Structure formats: C-alpha cells, structure tokens
Amino acid sequence: MLVGAAALALLGGTVATACGSTPPVKDVDALVGALERARDDSRLAGNAAAAAAPTIATALSVVADQRAAHARALTDEITRIAGEAPTTSASTSASSTSATPTTSGPPPKPPTVADVVAALKQSADGASLLATQQSGYRAGLLGSIAAACTAAATVALATSGVTS
C-alpha cells in the first residue's frame, strides 16, 4: 500500500510539473513576431502622420496609438507566459541606430498612407492566421488585433482615397 502511495505521489508530481511548465517557445516566438509588426506599424503610421495633410494626419496618429497599444498588450502577454519581458530586434536595434553615421544625400521619402494601409493589411493577415493557431486569451487578443488592423486600413484610412 505504501509503495502504491509513493508511486502515486511521484506520478502526481510529474503531472503537476508537466502542467505547470512554460508554453512552447514557438508560441512566444510567434507573439514576438506580432509584437515587432505592431511596433513597426506604430512607427510607420506616426512617421506618415508627421508628413501628411492635417485631414489624414489625425487618423494616422490614432492608428499609431492603436498599434502602440497592441504592442503593449502583446508585451504583457509575452511577459506573462515567458516570465520575462521580450527582447525584439526593435529594442536591440534602437541603441545601435543612434551610433550609425548618417550618409549624405537626399533624405528618405516619408511613408505614405498607402504604405501604412499595406502594412496594416499584412499585420491583419498575420494576426488572423496566428489567432487560428492559438487558444483562449491569445487567440482573442490576436483576433482583436487583426480586426483593429482591418478596420484601420479599410475604414479609418479610407478617406485618404487609398484603395486596394
């Protein structure tokens, strides 16, 4: 009887350990990709807003803010499941870009509304696909992000005349 109880205790410890283990790295990696897209979209929309006419600049600023909020939500979820804040190429390259010497020549063209719309559509497609591969809160978060990107691209920025 004692041997059976000891075996059950060992088995129970193994099951508890397996259930309490961290999620597969691929889940975190997939969310980090969505996080990088959210940060990139936020920067892109912000830069486009700075160069846009006032009538569309406001909508671009709202898109930039929404994508920044998506980045915060994804960061929170990655931190929750991984136990630490994510590191992305954006966070590691931010310090290296300040040390990069500038080249002479014409400055790069600012992004356009069409650039932002294209990026949002790509982000919506990626988040939608990723949502189907997740469950629970992560699926809902990614589905919500996909819906917000689609709405921003097809409704909020539609007044700019961009179609595709």
The 3-class secondary structure across 84-104, one letter per residue, is CCCCCHHHHHHHHHCCCCCCC
- Given this model, what pLDDT does residue 18 score? 46
**pLDDT of 77-109, one tens digit each?**
999 998 888 876 644 444 444 445 556 778 789
Closest CA relative to residue 35, chosen from 81, 90, 96: 90
**pLDDT of 8-53, one tens digit each?**
344 444 444 445 554 444 678 889 999 999 999 999 999 999 999 9
Q: Which residue has the higher pLDDT, 3 or 122?
A: 122
- Given this model, what pLDDT does residue 104 score? 73
Q: Which residue has the higher pLDDT, 59 or 24?
A: 59
Percent of the chain past pLDDT 90, that is, above it, reads: 58
The mean pLDDT value of the chain amounts to 81
- Given this model, what pLDDT does residue 29 score? 87
Average pLDDT of span 1-10: 42
Task: Name, in order, each residue with C-beta under 8 angstroms of 116's C-beta and a sequence gap of 6 or more.
Answer: 41, 44, 45, 48, 60, 63, 153, 157
Average pLDDT of span 68-72: 98
User: What CATH number labels 24-85+110-164?
Assistant: 1.20.1260
- Given this model, what pLDDT does residue 96 score? 41
Average pLDDT of span 118-139: 96
- Given this model, what pLDDT does residue 89 score? 60
- Given this model, what pLDDT does residue 102 score? 57
Q: Which residue has the higher pLDDT, 91 or 121?
A: 121
Closest CA relative to residue 44, chosen from 125, 114, 135, 131: 114
Q: What pTM was computed for the model?
A: 0.74
